[in-house]
């Protein structure tokens, strides 16, 4: 049995995403993935030693140049990607999404590799671009946040 098929070795990718709202618009990033220009929230992987909250703030800054204040926990999402070369079974992602408000923007800050730009979309514009979303998690988190799904940040604990 291959390690990826053996449940004893199964490990989802733990990621964070931030739904940053301002003036009725949502902060997104446009990034190159497998040659396609796709849309995502500022999002990325949890790094060793950091909390989910720290990861969300860090990833937002690194991918968009925006410093943010987290305001709520939107939800957790488990999603399996389609199979790709080298990943015949697809990958599993466990995403923790947070709502945030923008504090300051550093337009001179270099963005993470693959990120072409940060941009703001109205919800209608973002929905109209669904064919370019990196995954279904993009709209799901925004939709949940807009629908009022916001929980206290105290629900997300980091026990050291």
Q: Where are the domains of the chain?
A: 13-154
Q: Which of 47, 33, 30 lies closest to 126 in space, CA to CA?
A: 30
What would the DSSP string read from start to end of 51-115?
A: -HHHHHHHHHHHHHSEEEEEEEEEEEEEEEPPPBTTBTT--EEEEEEEEEEEEEE-TTSPPPTTE
pLDDT at position 1, please?
A: 38
List the chain pLDDT tens, one digit each, 160 residues: 344 557 777 889 999 999 999 999 999 999 998 899 999 999 999 999 999 999 999 999 999 999 999 999 999 999 998 887 766 678 889 999 999 999 999 999 999 999 999 999 999 999 999 999 999 999 999 999 999 999 999 999 999 8
pLDDT at position 11, please?
A: 86
pLDDT at position 2, please?
A: 47
Which of the following CATH numbers is that of domain 13-154: 3.40.50.850, 3.40.50.1580, 3.90.79.10, 3.40.50.1860?
3.90.79.10
pLDDT at position 81, please?
A: 86
Number of CB atoms found within 10 A of residue 6's CB: 9
8 A C-beta contact, residue 13 and residue 45: yes
8 A C-beta contact, residue 113 and residue 59: no
Q: Could you tell me the two tokens for 103?
A: 């504090």
pLDDT at position 34, please?
A: 87
Q: Could you tell me the two tokens for 2?
A: 């291959």
């Amino acid at each position: 049995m291959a390690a990826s098929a053996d449940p004893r070795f199964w490990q989802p990718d733990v990621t964070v995403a931030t739904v940053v709202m301002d003036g009725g618009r949502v902060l997104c990033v446009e990034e190159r993935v497998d040659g396609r220009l796709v849309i995502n929230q500022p999002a990325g992987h949890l790094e060793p030693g950091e909390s989910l909250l720290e990861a969300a703030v860090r990833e937002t800054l690194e991918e968009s140049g925006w410093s943010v204040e987290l305001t709520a926990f939107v939800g957790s999402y488990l999603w399996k990607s389609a199979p790709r070369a080298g990943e015949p079974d697809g990958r599993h992602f466990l995403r923790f999404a947070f709502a945030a408000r923008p504090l300051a923007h550093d337009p001179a800050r270099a963005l993470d590799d693959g990120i072409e730009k940060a941009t703001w979309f109205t919800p209608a514009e973002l929905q109209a671009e669904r064919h370019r979303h990196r995954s279904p998690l993009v709209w799901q988190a925004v939709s949940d946040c807009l629908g009022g799904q916001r929980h206290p940040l105290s629900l997300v604990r980091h026990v050291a």
